[in-house]
Amino acid sequence: MTSRGVESLDDRELLSLLIEDEQLAETLLSAYGGSLSRLASEVEARLRMVGGLGLKRARMLLLAAEFGRRVAESGGGDSEFIATSDDVVRLFRPQLERLSHEECWVIYLTASNRVIERQRVSQGGVTGTVVDHRLIIKRALELLATQLILIHNHPSGTPEASVQDKSLTERVSRAAALFDIRLLDHLIIAREGDYSFRRAGLIG
């Protein structure tokens, strides 16, 4: 770390330094399939029991994970332009991936893909959330946005689009087109990956 910088550390080395125990770091990585994301999403009560980690070190890991998520979320807001759907996923994954309920967000953009505003338009339960497409379009008109992107999460962990997701996409796309506003994509973010309506050929 001293000679090559903190970014040179692999996952095991990073964990070892955080909890000050190299063998326990290997145990933690093994218990969560080598995934730091899964480890960071674990609840405190279960994490502290893994390999005898204990309360203090479990909280240290959860605090480090939350710090990283907040940095990623606030840093993403500094980006003025959206070039690809992957940019959107990187921007929203830190705040949506770990939620136990569904949220739907909209990014409003200019014709040159400059971000005008990010807005949460709905918050629901574990299996769904109600989104009013009229409010989405109303806000786009207020902002003079010419493009928009829908984003929501699936707490179940799987990113596949449901019938309701497809219906919402169609309603928003048709309503936006009436005002020459383009729906660029609808992205679903989950622990097991992400789903893009554009990549799937469901948005032209």
Q: Is the pLDDT of residue 119 over 80?
A: yes
Quick: pLDDT tens for 7-30.
788 888 999 999 999 999 999 999
Examine the pLDDT at 80 and tell me if it is beyond 80.
no
The two tokens of residue 64 are: 């480090």
> Among 29-33, 68-72, 83-87, 194-198, which range has the highest average pLDDT?
194-198
Which tens digits make up the pLDDT trace of 144-199? Answer: 999 999 999 999 889 999 999 999 999 999 999 999 999 999 999 998 899 999 99
Between residues 182 and 48, the one the model is more confident about: 182
Whether 78 shows a pLDDT value over 50: the answer reads: no
Q: Residue 95 above 90 pLDDT?
A: no
**Contact at 8 Å (CB) between 120 and 83?**
no
Where do the structural domains in the chain lie, given as residue ranges?
6-74, 80-196
Average pLDDT over residues 52-65: 90
pTM recorded for the entire structure: 0.64
Strands (E), 24-114: 103-109
- Which residue would you say has higher pLDDT here, 36 or 113? 113
User: What's the number of CA atoms in the CB half-sphere (13 Å) around residue 112?
Assistant: 3
Query: pLDDT at position 124, please?
Result: 80
Contact between residue 95 and residue 114 where contact means Cβ atoms under 8 Å apart: no
The H or E element that residue 194 is part of is strand 193-196
Fold classification of 80-196 is: Cytidine Deaminase; domain 2 (3.40.140)
* Cβ burial, residue 183 (10 Å; 0-12/13-18/19+): buried
Strand segments, DSSP code E, in 50-166 are: 103-109, 115-123, 147-153
Predicted confidence at residue 123, as pLDDT, reads 87
